[in-house]
């Protein structure tokens, strides 16, 4: 049985945008919109308090994803505490394609690790990524949430791997967030089992260009964010988002569906960001979200 810290731990985790057009299930970008979680080991029981996004809909018991991820991490570290008190301050929109579930999972993994004496040694960065991926099911969002910046994640013979790079300072992300939500499981179900070889080849080339565009040559991003593998198949589930992507791209603005949607992510520049923000459809929220370079962090209470 591990030894637990008596003091509470506060973790801050960023929103993320996955896929970024062609890099399906591999690329992730951390954005400066944050959820905060405070976790304390208690004498007994479970108390969950939620403020902000999801306060009226998320469960306040063991069914909460963050609680499940806390339990999974404590199991990995040797055992469960007698009780838990969890306070969530949520700012990342739920079910909008901005990585809210990955943020909850990563916050839990980092918080549980910090609450266990010696947790950092027993669950290092690679192990934390592997566990978060196991819980989430794919590594793109959790990798960006953990490490910040731009990440490319993949699974090889040695398990889940990630490469993190800094984003070019001329890249200024804008998230267009609609009021409607989308189920990641549902929109994944719209994807075909087989795609044309030409489409796979095109996405492979665009993914290579995407890495170059985001890190060295932002002028390439309109071409680099072209996608043939997933966005068109999901368009029927989010027609307004698909129409906004088409309109922005027609005006020369690199734009993609963020994750499973329905949020649209545009990659503006510091000189065009005001114009891009002004293109938000009526009823949508336009958020200027600089790239987060830090990732998940334990922060002072």
**pLDDT tens profile 135-192:** 999 999 999 999 999 999 999 888 999 999 999 999 999 999 999 987 777 777 888 8
The percent of residues in the chain predicted with pLDDT above 90, rounded, is 93
| Domain definitions of the chain by residue range | 9-165+292-299, 172-288
Looking up tokens 């200027």 gives 288
Class of domain 172-288: alpha beta
| Alpha-carbon gap, residue 15 to 134, rounded angstroms | 19
Picking from 57, 4, 28, 33, the residue whose alpha carbon sits closest to that of residue 260 is 28
Specify the DSSP class assigned to residue 278: T
How much is the pLDDT for 187?
A: 79
How much is the pLDDT for 1?
A: 87
**What token pair was written down for 92?**
């990342």
How much is the pLDDT for 26?
A: 95
CATH 3.30.230.10 fits 9-165+292-299, yes or no: yes
Which H helix or E strand runs over 36?
strand 27-42
């Amino acid at each position: 049985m591990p030894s637990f810290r008596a003091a509470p731990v506060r973790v801050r985790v960023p929103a993320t945008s996955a896929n970024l057009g062609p890099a399906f299930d591999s690329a992730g970008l951390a954005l400066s919109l944050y959820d905060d979680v405070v976790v304390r080991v208690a004498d007994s029981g479970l108390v969950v308090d939620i403020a902000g996004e999801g306060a009226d809909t998320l469960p306040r018991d063991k069914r909460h994803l963050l609680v499940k991820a806390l339990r999974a991490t404590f199991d990995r570290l040797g055992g469960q505490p007698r009780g838990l008190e969890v306070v969530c301050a949520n700012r990342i929109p739920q079910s909008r394609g901005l990585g809210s579930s990955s943020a909850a999972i990563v916050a839990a993994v980092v918080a549980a690790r910090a609450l266990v004496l010696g947790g950092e040694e027993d669950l290092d960065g690679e192990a934390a990524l592997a566990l978060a991926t196991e819980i989430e099911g794919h590594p793109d969002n959790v990798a960006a949430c953990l490490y910040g910046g731009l990440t490319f994640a993949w699974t090889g013979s040695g398990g889940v791997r990630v490469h993190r790079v800094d984003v070019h300072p001329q890249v200024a992300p804008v998230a267009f967030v609609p009021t409607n939500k989308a189920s990641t499981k549902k929109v994944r179900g719209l994807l075909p089992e087989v795609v044309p070889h030409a489409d796979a080849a095109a996405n492979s080339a665009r993914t290579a260009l995407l890495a170059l565009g985001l890190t060295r040559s932002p002028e390439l991003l309109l071409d680099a964010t072209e996608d043939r593998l997933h966005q068109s198949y999901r368009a029927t589930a989010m027609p307004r988002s698909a129409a906004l992507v088409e309109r922005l791209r027609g005006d020369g603005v690199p734009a993609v569906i963020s994750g499973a949607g329905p949020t649209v992510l545009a990659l503006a520049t510091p000189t065009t960001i005001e114009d891009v923000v002004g293109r938000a459809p009526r009823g949508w929220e336009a958020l200027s979200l600089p790239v987060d370079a830090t990732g998940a962090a334990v922060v002072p209470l």
